[in-house]
Structure 1
Amino acid sequence: MASQHGVHPTLIHAWKKQLLAGAEGAFASTANSTAPPEDKTVELYEQIGRLKVELD
Protein backbone atom coordinates (compact mmCIF):
# COMPACT_ATOMS: atom_id res chain seq x y z
CA MET A 1 0.00 0.00 0.00
CA ALA A 2 2.86 2.37 0.82
CA SER A 3 4.51 1.98 -2.58
CA GLN A 4 1.17 2.23 -4.35
CA HIS A 5 0.47 5.65 -2.78
CA GLY A 6 4.05 6.87 -2.56
CA VAL A 7 4.33 7.17 1.22
CA HIS A 8 6.68 5.61 3.75
CA PRO A 9 5.41 2.39 5.42
CA THR A 10 5.93 3.81 8.92
CA LEU A 11 3.59 6.66 8.04
CA ILE A 12 0.82 4.21 7.22
CA HIS A 13 1.51 2.37 10.48
CA ALA A 14 1.28 5.66 12.42
CA TRP A 15 -2.00 6.58 10.71
CA LYS A 16 -3.48 3.17 11.49
CA LYS A 17 -2.39 3.47 15.13
CA GLN A 18 -4.02 6.93 15.39
CA LEU A 19 -7.22 5.66 13.79
CA LEU A 20 -7.50 2.70 16.12
CA ALA A 21 -6.83 4.92 19.15
CA GLY A 22 -9.36 7.64 18.30
CA ALA A 23 -11.93 6.12 15.94
CA GLU A 24 -14.63 5.72 18.58
CA GLY A 25 -14.50 9.38 19.54
CA ALA A 26 -14.48 10.55 15.93
CA PHE A 27 -17.61 8.64 15.01
CA ALA A 28 -19.46 9.25 18.27
CA SER A 29 -19.39 13.04 17.94
CA THR A 30 -20.74 13.06 14.36
CA ALA A 31 -23.62 10.72 15.15
CA ASN A 32 -25.10 13.17 17.67
CA SER A 33 -24.73 16.26 15.51
CA THR A 34 -26.61 14.91 12.47
CA ALA A 35 -29.98 14.60 14.19
CA PRO A 36 -32.16 17.69 13.75
CA PRO A 37 -33.42 19.23 16.99
CA GLU A 38 -37.12 18.74 17.67
CA ASP A 39 -37.90 22.36 18.64
CA LYS A 40 -36.53 23.64 15.32
CA THR A 41 -39.08 21.51 13.45
CA VAL A 42 -41.94 22.84 15.56
CA GLU A 43 -40.73 26.39 15.06
CA LEU A 44 -40.57 25.93 11.28
CA TYR A 45 -44.10 24.49 11.13
CA GLU A 46 -45.37 27.48 13.12
CA GLN A 47 -43.66 29.84 10.71
CA ILE A 48 -45.18 28.01 7.72
CA GLY A 49 -48.61 28.37 9.30
CA ARG A 50 -48.16 32.11 9.86
CA LEU A 51 -46.95 32.67 6.31
CA LYS A 52 -49.84 30.67 4.89
CA VAL A 53 -52.34 32.80 6.85
CA GLU A 54 -50.61 35.98 5.62
CA LEU A 55 -50.76 34.75 2.04
CA ASP A 56 -54.49 33.94 2.25
Structure 2
Amino acid sequence: MVLGISNKTVRNVLSAVLLKLGASSRAEAVAISRDAGVGGGRTAPGSTRA
Protein backbone atom coordinates (compact mmCIF):
# COMPACT_ATOMS: atom_id res chain seq x y z
CA MET A 1 0.00 0.00 0.00
CA VAL A 2 1.31 3.43 -0.94
CA LEU A 3 0.14 6.58 0.79
CA GLY A 4 0.47 9.96 -0.79
CA ILE A 5 -0.88 13.46 -0.93
CA SER A 6 -2.20 15.34 -3.92
CA ASN A 7 -0.59 18.37 -5.52
CA LYS A 8 -3.63 20.38 -4.45
CA THR A 9 -3.06 19.44 -0.80
CA VAL A 10 0.57 20.54 -1.01
CA ARG A 11 -0.48 23.84 -2.62
CA ASN A 12 -3.10 24.47 0.07
CA VAL A 13 -0.77 23.71 2.97
CA LEU A 14 2.02 25.80 1.46
CA SER A 15 -0.37 28.72 0.97
CA ALA A 16 -1.49 28.48 4.60
CA VAL A 17 2.12 28.44 5.84
CA LEU A 18 3.07 31.43 3.69
CA LEU A 19 0.02 33.33 4.94
CA LYS A 20 0.81 32.60 8.60
CA LEU A 21 4.42 33.72 8.14
CA GLY A 22 3.44 36.78 6.13
CA ALA A 23 5.71 35.60 3.33
CA SER A 24 5.09 35.94 -0.39
CA SER A 25 7.44 33.15 -1.51
CA ARG A 26 9.09 29.98 -0.27
CA ALA A 27 12.45 31.74 -0.16
CA GLU A 28 11.01 34.49 2.02
CA ALA A 29 9.45 31.85 4.29
CA VAL A 30 12.87 30.22 4.69
CA ALA A 31 14.47 33.57 5.54
CA ILE A 32 11.77 34.36 8.11
CA SER A 33 12.15 30.90 9.64
CA ARG A 34 15.93 31.15 9.85
CA ASP A 35 15.71 34.62 11.42
CA ALA A 36 13.38 33.08 14.03
CA GLY A 37 15.97 30.37 14.79
CA VAL A 38 14.12 27.49 13.15
CA GLY A 39 16.47 24.77 11.95
CA GLY A 40 19.65 26.11 13.47
CA GLY A 41 21.64 25.34 10.30
CA ARG A 42 22.00 21.68 11.20
CA THR A 43 21.67 18.86 8.69
CA ALA A 44 19.82 15.62 9.23
CA PRO A 45 21.81 12.65 10.55
CA GLY A 46 23.41 10.84 7.63
CA SER A 47 22.85 13.77 5.29
CA THR A 48 25.58 14.61 2.81
CA ARG A 49 24.36 18.19 2.34
CA ALA A 50 26.52 20.93 3.77
TM more than 0.5: no
Structure number with the higher helix fraction is: 1
TM range (shorter): 0.3 to 0.5
Quick check: which has more Rg, 1 or 2? 1
TM norm structure 1: 0.35
